[in-house]
Amino acid sequence: MPLVRQTVNDHDTSAAVRYCVVWDGAGVAIGDARRAVRTLLARAGHPAEERASQDAQLVVSELVTNAVRHAPGDGGLLLELTPDAGVLTVTVRDSSPSEPQQRPYDAGRVGGHGMYLVARLCEHVETVALADGKQVIARMVLDRTV
Protein backbone atom coordinates (compact mmCIF):
# COMPACT_ATOMS: atom_id res chain seq x y z
CA MET A 1 0.00 0.00 0.00
CA PRO A 2 2.18 2.90 -1.14
CA LEU A 3 1.39 6.32 0.26
CA VAL A 4 1.97 9.13 -2.18
CA ARG A 5 1.63 12.86 -2.45
CA GLN A 6 -0.67 13.32 -5.43
CA THR A 7 0.16 16.56 -7.18
CA VAL A 8 0.40 17.84 -10.70
CA ASN A 9 3.85 19.19 -9.88
CA ASP A 10 6.05 17.03 -7.62
CA HIS A 11 7.65 20.20 -6.24
CA ASP A 12 4.34 21.66 -5.09
CA THR A 13 4.25 21.24 -1.30
CA SER A 14 0.92 23.07 -1.01
CA ALA A 15 -1.03 20.04 -2.19
CA ALA A 16 -2.78 17.67 0.18
CA VAL A 17 -1.23 14.28 0.84
CA ARG A 18 -3.64 11.53 -0.19
CA TYR A 19 -4.03 7.80 0.18
CA CYS A 20 -6.76 5.81 -1.55
CA VAL A 21 -7.79 2.16 -1.61
CA VAL A 22 -10.85 0.51 -3.14
CA TRP A 23 -12.27 -2.94 -2.49
CA ASP A 24 -14.72 -5.36 -4.03
CA GLY A 25 -17.29 -7.58 -2.34
CA ALA A 26 -14.53 -9.33 -0.39
CA GLY A 27 -13.94 -6.16 1.65
CA VAL A 28 -10.66 -4.83 2.98
CA ALA A 29 -8.60 -5.75 6.01
CA ILE A 30 -9.35 -3.25 8.78
CA GLY A 31 -5.77 -3.60 10.01
CA ASP A 32 -4.53 -2.43 6.59
CA ALA A 33 -6.73 0.68 6.82
CA ARG A 34 -5.41 1.49 10.31
CA ARG A 35 -1.84 0.91 9.14
CA ALA A 36 -2.36 3.25 6.18
CA VAL A 37 -3.53 6.17 8.33
CA ARG A 38 -0.83 5.47 10.92
CA THR A 39 1.87 5.52 8.20
CA LEU A 40 0.46 8.61 6.50
CA LEU A 41 0.38 10.54 9.78
CA ALA A 42 3.82 9.34 10.91
CA ARG A 43 5.35 10.59 7.67
CA ALA A 44 3.70 13.96 8.33
CA GLY A 45 5.05 14.26 11.86
CA HIS A 46 2.30 12.63 13.95
CA PRO A 47 3.97 9.56 15.52
CA ALA A 48 1.84 6.49 16.16
CA GLU A 49 2.12 6.87 19.94
CA GLU A 50 0.55 10.35 19.88
CA ARG A 51 -3.14 10.81 20.52
CA ALA A 52 -3.79 12.40 17.10
CA SER A 53 -2.64 9.24 15.34
CA GLN A 54 -4.47 6.93 17.73
CA ASP A 55 -7.72 8.88 17.36
CA ALA A 56 -7.37 8.88 13.56
CA GLN A 57 -6.79 5.11 13.55
CA LEU A 58 -9.94 4.63 15.63
CA VAL A 59 -12.03 6.79 13.28
CA VAL A 60 -10.75 4.98 10.18
CA SER A 61 -11.27 1.60 11.81
CA GLU A 62 -14.87 2.39 12.82
CA LEU A 63 -15.88 3.85 9.44
CA VAL A 64 -14.28 1.09 7.37
CA THR A 65 -15.67 -1.61 9.68
CA ASN A 66 -19.18 -0.16 9.25
CA ALA A 67 -18.79 -0.12 5.47
CA VAL A 68 -17.53 -3.70 5.27
CA ARG A 69 -20.02 -5.06 7.82
CA HIS A 70 -23.20 -3.25 6.74
CA ALA A 71 -22.73 -2.64 3.01
CA PRO A 72 -21.91 -5.67 0.89
CA GLY A 73 -20.16 -4.87 -2.33
CA ASP A 74 -17.63 -2.37 -3.52
CA GLY A 75 -16.23 0.36 -1.31
CA GLY A 76 -13.33 2.69 -0.84
CA LEU A 77 -11.25 4.71 1.59
CA LEU A 78 -9.71 8.09 0.87
CA LEU A 79 -7.42 9.80 3.38
CA GLU A 80 -6.52 13.44 2.73
CA LEU A 81 -4.07 15.33 4.93
CA THR A 82 -3.68 19.08 4.57
CA PRO A 83 -0.19 20.28 3.60
CA ASP A 84 0.42 21.54 7.15
CA ALA A 85 -0.59 18.10 8.53
CA GLY A 86 -3.18 19.78 10.73
CA VAL A 87 -6.42 18.36 9.32
CA LEU A 88 -7.24 14.83 8.18
CA THR A 89 -10.31 14.11 6.08
CA VAL A 90 -11.45 10.48 6.01
CA THR A 91 -13.93 9.52 3.29
CA VAL A 92 -15.40 6.01 3.22
CA ARG A 93 -17.62 5.02 0.32
CA ASP A 94 -19.86 1.97 0.33
CA SER A 95 -22.79 0.42 -1.54
CA SER A 96 -25.52 0.93 1.08
CA PRO A 97 -27.88 3.90 0.82
CA SER A 98 -28.59 3.70 4.59
CA GLU A 99 -27.08 6.47 6.69
CA PRO A 100 -25.05 5.24 9.67
CA GLN A 101 -26.91 5.70 12.94
CA GLN A 102 -25.39 7.16 16.06
CA ARG A 103 -26.93 5.40 19.01
CA PRO A 104 -27.25 7.16 22.36
CA TYR A 105 -24.33 6.49 24.69
CA ASP A 106 -24.90 3.43 26.87
CA ALA A 107 -21.91 2.17 28.88
CA GLY A 108 -23.71 -1.13 29.49
CA ARG A 109 -24.21 -1.96 25.81
CA VAL A 110 -21.73 -4.19 24.02
CA GLY A 111 -21.03 -2.71 20.58
CA GLY A 112 -22.84 0.02 18.72
CA HIS A 113 -20.55 2.82 19.93
CA GLY A 114 -18.67 3.44 16.67
CA MET A 115 -20.51 6.46 15.27
CA TYR A 116 -20.71 8.01 18.75
CA LEU A 117 -16.91 7.81 18.98
CA VAL A 118 -16.45 9.13 15.45
CA ALA A 119 -18.71 12.11 16.22
CA ARG A 120 -16.80 12.85 19.45
CA LEU A 121 -13.38 12.71 17.78
CA CYS A 122 -14.19 14.63 14.59
CA GLU A 123 -14.87 18.27 13.98
CA HIS A 124 -17.38 17.42 11.26
CA VAL A 125 -19.09 14.22 10.06
CA GLU A 126 -21.52 14.04 7.16
CA THR A 127 -23.12 11.42 4.95
CA VAL A 128 -23.54 12.12 1.25
CA ALA A 129 -26.03 10.03 -0.72
CA LEU A 130 -24.78 8.64 -4.02
CA ALA A 131 -26.65 6.93 -6.86
CA ASP A 132 -25.09 3.60 -5.85
CA GLY A 133 -24.61 3.99 -2.08
CA LYS A 134 -23.13 6.71 0.10
CA GLN A 135 -19.96 8.20 1.40
CA VAL A 136 -19.27 9.17 4.97
CA ILE A 137 -16.88 12.09 5.34
CA ALA A 138 -15.20 12.79 8.67
CA ARG A 139 -12.91 15.78 9.26
CA MET A 140 -10.45 15.63 12.15
CA VAL A 141 -8.34 18.49 13.44
CA LEU A 142 -5.00 16.97 14.38
CA ASP A 143 -3.26 20.17 15.34
CA ARG A 144 -5.34 22.46 17.53
CA THR A 145 -3.48 25.51 16.15
CA VAL A 146 -5.17 25.03 12.75
| DSSP codes of every residue in 87-109 | EEEEEEEES--SPP--PPP-TTS
Inter-residue contact 16 to 80 (CB < 8 Å): yes
For 104-113, what is the mean pLDDT?
Answer: 75
Q: How many domains does the chain have?
A: 1
Domain assignment present for 9: no
pLDDT tens sequence across 45-80: 999 999 999 999 999 999 999 999 888 888 999 999
For 93-116, what is the mean pLDDT?
Answer: 83
Q: How far from chain centre, in Å, is Cα 121?
A: 12
Q: List the CATH number of the domain containing 68.
A: 3.30.565.10
pTM: 0.84
